[in-house]
Copies of this chain bind each other. A is one copy, B any other.
Amino acid sequence: MSGARRAVVLLSGGMDSAVVLAHLSAEGFECHALSFDYGQRHRVELIRAAEVALQLRAASHRTALIDLRAFGASALTADIAVPKDRDVEHAHDIPITYVPARNTIFLAHALAMAESIGARDIGIGVNAIDYSGYPDCRPEFIEAFERMANLATRAGTEATERGERWMRVHTPLLMLSKADIVRRGRVLGIDLSRTISCYDPTPAGDACGHCDACQLRERGFRDAG
């Protein structure tokens, strides 16, 4: 066990969360990765998440099973087609790939794990620039979650009594473009070719190239040269 400060990092197997993990490791955190099997059609990302955790030398990696299919009317979890070739640059609606309250549920589990292992930092790869319009990727959501987290827990309550701030949610990609994320990943020495961002990959794990996530990723790599 190192003496480093621990952080829980939400790791999806995609590019963004891999960069978050490398970023927090570079900042000196002992990173504990957390992935979710929530019945997503792109479950191949869980294998990639495990590879990323190993590549980036996470201190631990855990995949928690949660049952979002029971709730969700989302193209990511239900039998609804993933939209292809949308004009992501000019779309302003929240797409059908939105999973109700997904980041709230993920962060709530990360919060429980953080308190259990004595971490007071959580990393999440949300992005408010090149994103699909999900409400739970906005800075005001993250701030509201942080505030709630400090009231929700024993550790948060005890820290507040000492006049300290307990939980911090790190969002190092929040204001970066996809191209900036690609560049940051390169600087941190990540092999991004092993990450997968696609919402609707083939059974063999190949990206479809047409969903919002593929389009945003491709544009990021193009813009980053």
Show the binding face of A for B, using Cβ within 8 Å. 62, 64-68, 70-73, 94, 98-105, 107-109, 111-113, 115-116, 135-136, 138, 140-141, 144-145, 147-149, 151-154, 156-157
Query: Taking the nearest CB of chain B, how far is it from the CB of A125, in angstroms?
Result: 17
Instruction: Add 13 more A-B contacts to A73-B116, A101-B153, A107-B108 (CB < 8 A).
Output: A64-B67, A65-B67, A72-B112, A98-B154, A100-B153, A101-B109, A101-B149, A104-B148, A136-B151, A136-B152, A136-B153, A144-B144, A144-B147
Residue of B with least CB distance to A115: B100
Residue of B with least CB distance to A156: B135
Q: 30 A-B contacts, Cβ less than 8 Å apart?
A: A70-B113, A71-B109, A71-B112, A72-B112, A98-B154, A99-B112, A100-B111, A101-B108, A101-B112, A101-B115, A102-B112, A103-B152, A104-B108, A104-B112, A105-B105, A107-B108, A108-B108, A135-B151, A135-B152, A135-B154, A135-B156, A136-B153, A138-B151, A141-B148, A141-B151, A144-B144, A144-B148, A144-B152, A147-B147, A148-B148
Chain B residues near A104 (CB, 8 Å)? 108, 111-112, 148-149, 152-153
Query: In the complex, what distance in Å separates the CA atom of A49 from the CA atom of B5?
Result: 41
Query: In the complex, what distance in Å separates the CA atom of A145 from the CA atom of B65?
Result: 23
Chain B residues near A154 (CB, 8 Å)? 94, 98, 100, 135
Residue of B with least CB distance to A110: B101
Chain B residues near A152 (CB, 8 Å)? 101, 103-104, 135-136, 141, 144-145
Query: Taking the nearest CB of chain B, how far is it from the CB of A49, in angstroms?
Result: 16
Residue of B with least CB distance to A74: B116
Query: In the complex, what distance in Å separates the CA atom of A100 from the CA atom of B153?
Result: 6
Question: Given A145-B148, A148-B144, A153-B135, A100–B72 Cβ distance below 8 Å?
Answer: no
Query: In the complex, what distance in Å separates the CA atom of A135 from the CA atom of B113?
Result: 17
- Establish whether residues A116 and B100, one from each chain, have CB atoms under 8 Å apart when the complex forms: yes
Closest 10 CB pairs of A and B: A144-B148, A101-B112, A100-B115, A108-B108, A135-B157, A100-B112, A141-B151, A101-B111, A71-B112, A71-B116
